[in-house]
Structure 1
Amino acid sequence: MALRMATELGRRIRLEAAVEEVAVRPGGCRVRLAGGESLTADAVVSALPVGPLRSVAFTGVSEARLASLHRQRQAVAAKFAAAYDKPFWRSLDLNGLSECEGVLGSTWPQSEGILSALIPPERYGVLLGMPAPVRDHELLSDVARLYGAQAFQPFTSYLRLWGTDPWTQGYVTQWNPGDVMAVGPLHGTQKPPFYVCGSDQWVAGYMEGAVRTGRDTAREVLRHG
């Protein structure tokens, strides 16, 4: 969905342009990219996941706000999805929901004929230890133990290593005891001309949070001109 939306923006989207420094000032903000190029704007909207955000140097943002943003953490996890012509597990009177004992942590039906699975942080190292050519087969083996041999016959499958992707460095928000209080009441709030949005700035991540915070932030930007 994000890639499809990005195509409508054309050259206004810069890909693989890592941000190294952000200077926030009323009336004029500056963003410095890796390589030295600087961009200027009236406001800055950050949709960076909390992992990559920690590598950006900020000026003009309060210590309290930075402390709140930097205290957030994401689960080092991966997602696996297998797409089938039909939800074959239903013929076995199964609903596709499970908690697993293999590398997969859980499965759930993402859509008609699509079965998704999560590789949780405590099993992520096992996934990384798998040779890349055998990963799909071994993950499908976990699915087959739950739902039968038809699990080996998806028309496509997809694995995203969120936890070690340099642009994400994690999956959904991971709250440890004490984190909610440490992140505090600034979580998900705005201080023009610096705005934050994205799934991390919602309750617990996920696409719903990205959409909600994106819409809320857009309204705030428009309201402040």
Structure 2
Amino acid sequence: MKPETQICVIGAGLSGLALANTLLAEGRDVTVLEARDRPGGRVFSPQGHDLGPSWIWPHNRRMQALLDKLGLHRFPQYATGRLVFEDAKGAIRRDLDLATMGGAWRVAGGLAGVAEVLATRLGNKLRLSCPVHSIAQDAGGVDITTDDGPLRAAHAVLALPPRLASGLGVSVPDVPTWMAGHTKLVATYSTPFWRDQGLNGDAISHRGPLAEIHDASPADAAEGALFGFAHPGAAREPGFQDASLAQLARLFGADAAAPGAVFFKDWSADPATASPADRTPPTGHPAYLPLPPDGRLIFAGTEAAPEDGGFLEGALAAAEAAHAHIAAIVN
């Protein structure tokens, strides 16, 4: 059967979107399939608040170049003031001159702005709410089954976590999906009031339910925002949100108990991100290795990047590697 599309990119996260834009600019026939009803994958910023990745670092040359290309503004993570530390028994210190994310940058309006621009440029080449159920290849192409029916492509790029690819019938190593077992919570306020107390919004807690907290306010401080990473599994406990707000009040004062809004995302419960195995996060950052092509199947996604694997920069590195392979084999 003749392929309906030259290259099918499965997954509209950062890697898939970046790769598809490059291929489309070269005049290649591309179709992008995404299970979610939005682009971005783990890049997710409801109302401008990042519930996925938040930071870009000075050494992230690919991300910096992409932001410049797209005309998106970055600003420094707030880092002036002291960190709050809470031990396992609830004892609190507020005298530590430490900013754990000092030197990082954030994207004005949220990182989802990157995905939105890239997705818009793809137009009708991007199909949202189109989960893939199985993939099978033969000598002439790749057969992909979706909710919209079958699709045949000459080549397929799997721009998604390897553990999800294995669920589609693809043979791939069991590679942990970075941060897939975590939950992120954002609480917003009328002002970043903790700054007036000489605090920078950073907190480390061994009591929880939030383990690590940071200032997530916009560049102009027109409102205040704190975000926290939950201890693994904490978000599945009853009363997680209430316990998180009580913790913010312990750490930053009574004003933190009454946010204007609360957003949180338990990534371990998202089937487009995590497998059941991801509910137990790795104890450290995995040493990601390149995933070599398998016939007509090409692997992208940040967990396929040996350089900055698991991070935004790794997603772009994986897209570069996939593009290089396609350029070498596809006329």
Q: TM-score per shorter chain, which class?
A: 0.7 to 0.9
- 1:19 maps to which of 132, 138, 143: 132
**Could you say what secondary structure the match of 1:157 adopts?**
strand
Q: Unaligned stretches of 5+ in structure 2?
A: 1-111, 219-223
- Answering whether residue 206 of structure 2 is matched by residue 118 of structure 1, we say no
| 1:145-189 deviation per Cα after TM superposition (whole angstroms, max 9, x unaligned) | 111122234443311110011111268994458x74xx7x5x344
The residue number in structure 2 matching 1:107 is 213
The residue number in structure 2 matching 1:28 is 141
Give the C-alpha shift of residue 83 in structure 1.
Answer: 3.2
Give the C-alpha shift of residue 111 in structure 1.
Answer: 4.9
Mapped contact 1:19–1:56 kept (Cα < 8 A): yes
Q: Percent identity?
A: 25
TM-score scaled by length of structure 2: 0.52
Q: 1:97 to 1:6 in 2, by over 3 A?
A: same
Task: Give RMSD over aligned pairs.
Answer: 3.2
- 1:38 maps to which of 150, 168, 176: 150
The residue number in structure 2 matching 1:47 is 159
C-alpha distance in 1 between matches for 2:189 and 2:312: 23
Mapped contact 2:181–2:280 kept (Cα < 8 A): no
The residue number in structure 1 matching 2:195 is 90
Equivalent runs, 1:124-203 vs 2, <5 Å: 124=233, 126-130=234-238, 135-169=240-274, 174-175=281-282, 180=287, 185=289, 187-190=290-293, 193-202=296-305, 203=308
What code does the residue aligned with 1:201 have?
A: A
More strand by share: 2
What code does the residue aligned with 2:156 have?
A: V
C-alpha distance in 2 between matches for 1:47 and 1:216: 12
Q: Unaligned stretches of 5+ in structure 1?
A: none
Mapped contact 2:163–2:175 kept (Cα < 8 A): no
**Could you say what secondary structure the match of 1:76 adopts?**
coil
Give the C-alpha shift of residue 39 in structure 1.
Answer: 0.7
The residue number in structure 2 matching 1:72 is 176
TM-score scaled by length of structure 1: 0.73
Mapped contact 1:98–1:108 kept (Cα < 8 A): yes
Count of residue correspondences: 205
Q: 1:57 to 1:83 in 2, by over 3 A?
A: same
Mapped contact 2:302–2:310 kept (Cα < 8 A): yes
Mapped contact 1:26–1:42 kept (Cα < 8 A): no
More helix by share: 1
Q: 1:88 to 1:210 in 2, by over 3 A?
A: farther
